[in-house]
Copies of this chain bind each other. A is one copy, B any other.
Amino acid sequence: MVSNSELKRYQKKGEYSYAFGMFPTMEMLENRPDCAEKALLHSSVPEEGKERLCKLCAGKGIPVYENDRLVEKLREKENCFVIGVVRKYACELERTASHVVLVNPGDSGNLGTVIRTCVGFGIQNLALVEPAVDIFHPKTIRASMGALFRLNFHYYPSFQEYREEYGAGRDMYPFMLQGSVKLDGLEPMARPFSLIFGNEAAGLDNSFLEVGQSVRIAHSDGIDSLNLSLAAGIGIYHFTKGKF
């Protein structure tokens, strides 16, 4: 286990990341106890939260340290009093499950929001096509509210490699401004599906018009496009509604 003195502010190349805040830390402890190294507390954490956290850690055999200086060194915002230290891990996607595929996502906050929405609507497999932001960045974990710990993710060097591995037996839906059918006219099929979304600025390039059934979320010409996390949220909602 990493010692407290070895812990540094987050680094992409480091072995560890951080869940900032009580709720994301609880999510880490509940859903990835095997990778949860420890929990760090600041003396300002409310007594009730502290008790719940300590009880959960005790049940899982995960150590808790109260160490104001360390929390103050690692945290990114002053109002963070609980930090979960997580060892980075790798996952594989489930072959028969539905996926969300993000091609070149560039914003950590958007990625976290998409993860939270995926988990909220029962999509537990996320493919990321490189270049893509670091899924273990604390901003992503925070924006996901710890939902990252409930999902399988995997990075692919290209969309082609994802498609070769998972393309058979599933329906692919690239979301594009020039998509050939409107989302609200689309009846999801019983097969597993992959919902594919492009980069915040560039969207998906025209080559995706040849991938499965391209879809557009029709909107007024008052905006040039929807925000990525919104488009993904609306797409995921449409494809999973009635399930909950």
Contacts and interface: CB of A to CB of B under 8 A. Distances in A.
Interface in A95-147: 113, 116-117, 119-122, 145, 147
Given A234-B233, A234-B234, A237-B234, A220 B184 contact: no
A32 to B, nearest CB: 13
Contacts of A145: 223-224
Contact of A237 (B116, B217, B242): B217
A73 interface: no
Contacts of A224: 23, 145
B184 A219 contact: no
Given A113-B230, A230-B233, A234-B234, A222 B184 contact: no
Given A234-B233, A234-B234, A244 B218 contact: yes
A158 interface: no
Contact of A120 (B113, B120, B226, B233): B226
A170 interface: no
A222 B117 contact: no
Nearest to A230: B233
A229 interface: yes
A79 interface: no
Contacts of A241: 183-184
A220 B244 contact: yes
B244 A219 contact: yes
Contacts of A120: 219-220, 222-223, 226
Contacts of A218: 244
Contacts of A160: none
Query: Which of A121, A147, A237, A241 gathers most chain B CB within 10 Å?
Result: A237
Interface of A: 23, 113, 116-117, 119-122, 145, 147, 150, 183-184, 217-220, 222-224, 226-227, 229-230, 233-234, 237, 241-242, 244
10 contacts: A116-B227, A117-B230, A119-B222, A119-B223, A122-B220, A147-B223, A150-B222, A220-B244, A229-B229, A233-B233
The 3 closest A-B pairs by CB, nearest first: A218-B244, A120-B219, A184-B241
